[in-house]
Structure 1
Amino acid sequence: MEHLRRPLVRNIKAGDKVLVLSDTAHDPRVWQAVMSILQEIGADTTVTLFERRPADYYDPPAAVCEAMMKSDANILIASTGMLHCAASLRSMEAGIPSICLDGGMQLEWLQSGAIADDMRQIAVRKHYVGERVFGAGAKTCRVTSRYGTDFTYSVDGQIWIPPLPKPDYDPYKIINFQKDENRPAGKLYYYLYPTGEFNVAPHEGTAEGKLVIDLTMHHLGRLSTPIELTVRKGRVVQIDGGADARILRDFLEAYGDENAYMCPAEASVGVNAKAVIRGIQREDKNIMGTMHFGLGTNVDVGGSIFSKIHMDGVILHPTLYVDGVKRIEDGRFLVDIEG
């Protein structure tokens, strides 16, 4: 369980008050394994179990939210994404870090795949994707795909290039994103694993065209049929496709709000060389050369939109043009991102 141990032993010390959050739909072996590691460290650990939240970004129960403000670290192991829920944002703003492996990872998936990649090299790739794929002066992106995506949006002034890791860089330490990655992302203070994405928050209201999600989407998991989103002035106005499209329409109506239809809340690139298709967001959106596009909240990646939810959809083999120059073709980088 070495991959699971590394962020815990780097960030938690004996005597720390640690709150572990999980739900009854998640693989219990994960929080049990984390609990055993924390006991070895000597942390003062409490585990909370609650019913699965109805959607990603929904808060845990009120008693858990209160407890999050009284811990030294919160470890998120829920089947829904909780890293950017209101309770987690409040605790991070108060200087209490979140260590996040939520989203439904099974124990076996924490022994291979994305979690096993070289985390220092991921930081290198993120720098060079920012510098060589986009560039600080990038203005317009166009994305196409074999399933019919033809989608444009503005990134003018929105590309934030994280620094190359220094010799003393520890890829398992909790990150202060404003300080460590040059990202205007509020007071985010967390460690996320598995990881491996370069985040971009396009200008709200600028996106136009067809966006076809073909691999995985929050809440839906692995898609059986592509979902076609028609976007006008940065807002989803139509959702077409088969059963998965129907599920998404119903889900947004039941659990979303007006801002849940904002698109793309983010338009990010996967840079993890060992990530494989698992059928869940936590792994799939990190696959090298994929792109994922978000609906809803984007304050966590440098935008200004807040929504009750955030949903990422992954395109497995995108083609990306930046200011008319092709940088990714069918999921393959056309520039060197390894340094």
Structure 2
Amino acid sequence: MEIEKVVEQNSKIRSLTTQEYQIGRNVMEACMYVQPSEKVLIVTDPEEYKNAAIFFEAAKEFTDSVKLISFSGMHKNAQEPPPEIVQEIIAADVAILITKHSLTHTKGRLDGTKSKTRIATMPGITQEIIMRTLGVDYSEVAALSIKIANILTKSKKGKLTAEGGTDITFSIAGRAGIADTGLFVKKGAEGNLPAGEAFIAPLEGTTNGIIVFDGSFDAIELNQPIITEIQDGKVISIKGGKPADILKRRMDSAGEAAYNIAELGIGTNSAAELSSNLLEAEKVFGTVHVAMGSNITFGGTVSVPFHSDGVILSPTLKVDDILILDRGSFRW
């Protein structure tokens, strides 16, 4: 990997439109809660450089210490960034990681979180998603996400079914639910922008059944559902034509641990729309997503340079005796 560009506070990348400025300001003020004395770092790559400029330019209204670093050489999600970038993340008060491939499930991001940096990740975000989802009032998204995360934390077992054929059981006993709220006020807060999910790492070895990914899948054009058979927490069969073949190749290249059922999450953002971009698709209100691969950064035990999610439509989700979703509608 190679660092291509470093842009300091007194430089200007580009002019912003009125809407870009308003959204950038909302992110810095309402989501990241940037204060005048704080250091803000923007980490990006050539593919996301233009979008990253929105947050670089907006941040300069709130603090005199803003830096953007662009690097190249990432080829997949959960690939570790260069050590010098990790050190910059650790030294910052606020970091926005806006790259084509996700840095969310990396040790580098986790090291930043442990150092109390407030971190928002925006893997693969597009101009359209920025305009559609980053101007919303995240206090409403946060309230629902926190409520569901608390239910997950208190529960021991779950069952997920869906009209497309999904039918699995799993244990979450002793695991903590996490709310992706979009509000990064406390030191060490981290999550996605756009935000809007409650998620948890099921106990390794406990998930069994069939998962049919019929809504969206990470960086795969889903022209037909991907059907996976799960046994004792591992994917043992993948079917579904070309999309399934692509997924299997990616998992094989990452190693056996990539077949681990890593995450179950519930979308809580009413502004999010279904697309092939998982950053947004997994936040769609009333959907469930399941990920394979690494979960070491959010309470699991599996570490592998692979984390890939798929969305399930019209889900019914029950944990212990609480029905959270009934065919895609929240039940309380």
Count how many residue pairs are aligned between Structure 1 and Structure 2.
309
* Residue in 1 that maps onto 2:183: 172
Q: Which amino acid in the other structure matches residue 305 of structure 1?
A: V
Give the one of 148, 156, 173 matched to 1:156.
173
* Residue in 1 that maps onto 2:259: 261
- Matching of residue 128 in structure 1 with residue 125 in structure 2: no
* Residue in 2 that maps onto 1:74: 95
Q: 1:160 to 1:39 in 2, by over 3 A?
A: closer
Within a 5 Å distance, the mapping from 1:211-230 to structure 2 comes to 211-220=211-220, 222-230=221-229
* Residue in 2 that maps onto 1:185: none
Shift of 1:96: 2.5
Task: Work out whether residues 110 and 297 of structure 2, in 8 Å CA contact, stay in contact via their aligned partners in 1.
Answer: no
Q: 1:314 to 1:33 in 2, by over 3 A?
A: same
* Residue in 1 that maps onto 2:197: 197
CA distance in 2, matches of 1:294, 1:272: 19
The farther-off stretch of 209-218 and 232-241 is 209-218
| Structure 2: stretches of 5+ with no match in the other structure | 1-19
* Residue in 2 that maps onto 1:241: 240
Task: Work out whether residues 79 and 104 of structure 1, in 8 Å CA contact, stay in contact via their aligned partners in 2.
Answer: yes
* Residue in 2 that maps onto 1:166: none
Q: Which amino acid in the other structure matches residue 140 of structure 1?
A: K
Q: Tell me the SS of whatever aligns to 2:305.
A: coil
Cα displacement string for residues 143-194 of structure 1 (whole angstroms, at most 9, x for unaligned residues): 12222211111123335487xxxxxxx9633345xxxxxxxxxxx5325321
CA distance in 1, matches of 2:114, 2:138: 25
Give the one of 57, 60, 75 matched to 1:54.
75
- Matching of residue 290 in structure 1 with residue 310 in structure 2: no
TM, length-normalised to structure 1: 0.82
Cα displacement string for residues 226-270 of structure 1 (whole angstroms, at most 9, x for unaligned residues): 11111110011111111111111111122x23321111x111111
Q: Tell me the SS of whatever aligns to 2:60.
A: helix
Q: 1:190 to 1:81 in 2, by over 3 A?
A: same
CA distance in 1, matches of 2:183, 2:96: 14
CA distance in 2, matches of 1:243, 1:298: 26
Q: Which amino acid in the other structure matches residue 12 of structure 1?
A: V
Shift of 1:209: 0.9
- Matching of residue 106 in structure 1 with residue 126 in structure 2: yes
Shift of 1:44: 2.6
Q: Which amino acid in the other structure matches residue 108 of structure 1?
A: E
Q: Tell me the SS of whatever aligns to 1:74.
A: strand
Q: 1:191 to 1:260 in 2, by over 3 A?
A: closer
* Residue in 2 that maps onto 1:277: 274
Q: 1:306 to 1:175 in 2, by over 3 A?
A: farther
- Matching of residue 303 in structure 1 with residue 304 in structure 2: no
CA distance in 1, matches of 2:328, 2:45: 35
Cα displacement string for residues 261-296 of structure 1 (whole angstroms, at most 9, x for unaligned residues): 111x11111111221123211111111110011112
**Percentage identity across aligned positions?**
26
CA distance in 2, matches of 1:152, 1:233: 10
CA distance in 2, matches of 1:194, 1:85: 19
Task: Work out whether residues 199 and 266 of structure 2, in 8 Å CA contact, stay in contact via their aligned partners in 1.
Answer: yes
CA distance in 1, matches of 2:186, 2:295: 18
* Residue in 1 that maps onto 2:6: none
The farther-off stretch of 115-124 and 31-40 is 115-124
Q: Tell me the SS of whatever aligns to 1:82.
A: coil
Q: Which amino acid in the other structure matches residue 234 of structure 1?
A: G
CA distance in 2, matches of 1:61, 1:35: 21
CA distance in 1, matches of 2:210, 2:54: 43
| Structure 1: stretches of 5+ with no match in the other structure | 163-169, 177-187
Q: 1:250 to 1:190 in 2, by over 3 A?
A: same
Q: Tell me the SS of whatever aligns to 1:259.
A: helix
CA distance in 2, matches of 1:218, 1:242: 16
* Residue in 1 that maps onto 2:206: 206
CA distance in 2, matches of 1:22, 1:89: 17
* Residue in 1 that maps onto 2:9: none
Shift of 1:121: 1.7
Q: Which amino acid in the other structure matches residue 320 of structure 1?
A: L
* Residue in 1 that maps onto 2:164: 147
Q: Which amino acid in the other structure matches residue 128 of structure 1?
A: K
CA distance in 1, matches of 2:70, 2:149: 39
Q: 1:161 to 1:64 in 2, by over 3 A?
A: closer
Shift of 1:52: 5.1
Q: 1:120 to 1:149 in 2, by over 3 A?
A: same
CA distance in 2, matches of 1:161, 1:194: 15
Give the one of 17, 25, 38 matched to 2:59.
38
CA distance in 2, matches of 1:131, 1:191: 17
Q: 1:109 to 1:52 in 2, by over 3 A?
A: farther
Q: 1:85 to 1:249 in 2, by over 3 A?
A: same
Q: Tell me the SS of whatever aligns to 1:81.
A: coil
CA distance in 1, matches of 2:236, 2:277: 26
